[in-house]
């Protein structure tokens, strides 16, 4: 099959969640013998030099990067207050990107055009006008939910009001655009449920159909518009599937001898607001008591695009590293991953990586959302300061328990998050849509 990926950022280098999720599919499809082409946004937020991408990757994917100005423009944000359009989405609209997309579609016929994230949705019409390909949304998150949760945690009233406005317009756009796709690839079963329900809701409104969200193939009552006797189309609802992020377990070796025990760490892209807010919450509400109880215990902070306040932390035993050269090597060198997330959606790729490396993980319920975990068996869950204190106290005192949790986490990855198995599931979905 021939697949064109439209990406909101370059899948290479796969050093943070979004690119890693995209690259997993790109490399998996290539390995299975399919033709893949990548057209990606390049911006100040995630700027990649094409020459820095390995030549074999460039040749296999024919990757192209189009600069799009994603800088925040206050006056545009104010304009969107009046128009009601989603500022998040509008920022990704580019005449240059659209022009190059049209040229590519004229040069080659594709079976699938896959839009990575909701933010690439403005290009649906361009694809429809210049290609017969099936158009899929690969939803890394339910985007508006992230901003709803961020708004809930924002104390400044004016800022909270504006973030809620952004979430509302993003949700409205999401509801309108979902029926335009031929298929939707969610990254978690929870997200897939949401998109199925949304598709049903949209079509119910359109055709006045009473349906069961649990089984959308069955209709309880059908009432067609009075002006037509045409049958309800077979593809009434865009098919939805969930395909999580996965890894090749063979490339993730576990080495317990290299671990600094005990030690805590958080790793993630720190320009993502939920990561920043989670770390801030942990440092304010959990770390003082942990440090008092375990004065020699170190907490490492690592990740790209750290804000100044994080770089300038001057807390005893808190080690601020910034971006690390090799994430897997870093994870393998530390004992316990801390994931203090209270907003977000989708799946936490760093948790999947940590599990693959046999790392003990303590996460909030939100942070572990979308992962088929077993609490206290392959991950520890904490949602309050006292729960974090309890879980950390247990694992830093018991190395055997730490290793046992890590081993069970590794088993979960081998059985349910193996990328080779997930790629075959994706290809079957493609073939279903191409019929």
Each residue's pLDDT tens digit, 111-126: 999 999 999 999 999 9
Residue 335: which pLDDT band, with cuts at 50, 70 and 90? very high
The pair of three-digit structure tokens given for residue 162, joined into one six-digit string: 């504006």
Identify whether residues 241 and 253 lie together within a single domain. no
Q: Could you give the 3-state DSSP secondary structure of residue 35?
A: strand
Q: For residue 180, give Cα distances in angstroms to 5, 126, 173, 217.
A: 17, 12, 12, 19
Identify whether residues 280 and 295 lie together within a single domain. yes
- Computed over every residue of the chain, the mean pLDDT equals 88
Read off the pLDDT of residues 246-264 as tens digits, 9 standing for 90 and up: 999 999 988 878 899 999 9
Identify whether residues 195 and 55 lie together within a single domain. yes
pLDDT, position 210: 41
How many separate domains does the chain show?
2
Identify whether residues 109 and 173 lie together within a single domain. yes
Residue 225 has pLDDT above 50, yes or no: no
Identify whether residues 196 and 300 lie together within a single domain. no
Residue 294 has pLDDT above 70, yes or no: yes
The pair of three-digit structure tokens given for residue 120, joined into one six-digit string: 């690439």
pLDDT, position 31: 96
Calpha distance 152→146 (Å, rounded): 10
Residue the block writes with tokens 């309880």: 220
Q: For residue 321, give Cα distances in angstroms to 84, 196, 243, 304.
A: 41, 42, 33, 9
Cα R_g (the chain), whole angstroms: 23
Calpha distance 150→212 (Å, rounded): 32
Residue 143: which pLDDT band, with cuts at 50, 70 and 90? confident
Residue 432 has pLDDT above 70, yes or no: yes
Burial state string for 120-129 with b = 16 or more CB within 10 A and e = fewer than 16: bbbbbebbee
Identify whether residues 180 and 293 lie together within a single domain. no
Give the CATH number for residue 62. Answer: 3.40.50.2000
Residue 389 has pLDDT above 90, yes or no: yes
For 117, phi then psi, to 5°, come to 85, 155
Residue 217: which pLDDT band, with cuts at 50, 70 and 90? very low
pLDDT, position 366: 92
- Biggest distance spanned by C-alpha atoms of the chain: 76
pLDDT, position 258: 83
CB 2 within 8 A of CB 30: no
Residue 215 has pLDDT above 70, yes or no: no
DSSP 256: G
Identify whether residues 427 and 298 lie together within a single domain. no
Higher pLDDT, 97 or 256: 97
Identify whether residues 333 and 346 lie together within a single domain. yes
Identify whether residues 425 and 333 lie together within a single domain. no
Residue 398 has pLDDT above 90, yes or no: yes
Higher pLDDT, 375 or 141: 375
Identify whether residues 408 and 304 lie together within a single domain. yes
Residue 240 has pLDDT above 50, yes or no: yes
- Domain housing 16: 2-246+419-434
CA dihedral 254, 255, 256, 262 (to 10 degrees): -90
Residue the block writes with tokens 């979430």: 167
Residue 199: which pLDDT band, with cuts at 50, 70 and 90? low
Identify whether residues 142 and 51 lie together within a single domain. yes
Calpha distance 183→112 (Å, rounded): 10
Q: For residue 53, give Cα distances in angstroms to 21, 63, 223, 227.
A: 17, 9, 55, 56
* Pairing between β-strand 215-222 and β-strand 209-212 as defined by DSSP bridges: antiparallel
What pTM, to 2 d.p., does this model score?
Answer: 0.80
* Share above pLDDT 90 across residues of the chain, in percent, rounded to a whole number: 70
Identify whether residues 391 and 424 lie together within a single domain. no
Calpha distance 272→150 (Å, rounded): 11
CB 299 within 8 A of CB 319: yes
Q: For residue 133, give Cα distances in angstroms to 6, 33, 433.
A: 13, 19, 10
């Amino acid at each position: 099959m021939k697949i064109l990926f439209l990406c909101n950022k370059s899948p290479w280098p796969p050093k943070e969640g979004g690119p890693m999720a995209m690259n997993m599919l790109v490399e998996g499809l290539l390995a299975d013998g399919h033709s893949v082409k990548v057209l990606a946004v390049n911006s100040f937020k995630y700027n990649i030099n094409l020459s820095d991408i390995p030549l074999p990757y460039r040749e296999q994917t024919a990757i192209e990067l189009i600069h799009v100005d994603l800088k925040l423009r206050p006056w545009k944000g104010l304009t969107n207050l009046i128009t009601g359009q989603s500022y998040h989405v509008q920022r990704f609209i580019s005449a240059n990107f659209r022009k190059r997309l049209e040229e590519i579609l004229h040069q080659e016929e594709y079976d699938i055009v896959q839009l990575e994230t909701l933010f690439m949705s403005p290009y649906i019409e361009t694809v429809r006008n210049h290609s017969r390909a099936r158009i899929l949304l690969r939803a890394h998150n339910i985007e508006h939910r992230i901003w709803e949760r961020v708004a809930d945690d924002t104390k400044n009233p004016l800022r909270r009001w504006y973030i809620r406005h952004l979430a509302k317009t993003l949700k409205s756009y999401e509801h309108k655009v979902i029926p335009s796709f031929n298929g939707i690839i969610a990254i978690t079963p929870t997200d897939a449920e949401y998109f199925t329900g949304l598709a049903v809701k949209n079509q119910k409104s359109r055709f006045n159909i009473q349906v069961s969200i649990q089984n959308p193939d069955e209709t309880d009552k059908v009432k067609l518009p009075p002006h037509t006797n045409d049958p309800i189309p077979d593809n009434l609802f865009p098919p939805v599937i969930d395909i999580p992020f996965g890894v090749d377990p063979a490339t993730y070796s576990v080495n317990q001898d290299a671990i600094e025990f005990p030690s805590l760490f958080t790793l993630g892209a720190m320009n993502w607001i939920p990561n920043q807010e989670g770390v801030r919450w942990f440092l304010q509400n959990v770390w003082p008591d942990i440090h008092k109880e375990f004065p020699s215990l170190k907490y490492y902070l690592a990740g790209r695009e750290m804000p100044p306040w994080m770089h300038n932390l001057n807390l005893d035993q808190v080690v601020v590293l910034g971006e690390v050269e090799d994430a897997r090597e870093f994870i393998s060198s530390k004992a316990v991953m801390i994931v203090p997330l209270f907003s977000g959606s989708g799946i936490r790729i760093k948790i999947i990586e940590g599990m693959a490396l046999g790392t003990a993980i303590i996460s909030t319920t939100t942070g572990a959302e979308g992962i088929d975990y077993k609490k206290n068996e392959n991950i520890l869950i904490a949602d309050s300061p006292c729960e974090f204190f309890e879980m950390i106290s247990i694992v830093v005192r018991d190395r055997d328990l730490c290793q046992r949790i890590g081993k069970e986490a590794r088993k979960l990855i081998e059985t349910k998050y193996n990328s080779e198995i997930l790629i075959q599931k994706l290809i079957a979905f493609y073939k279903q849509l191409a019929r």
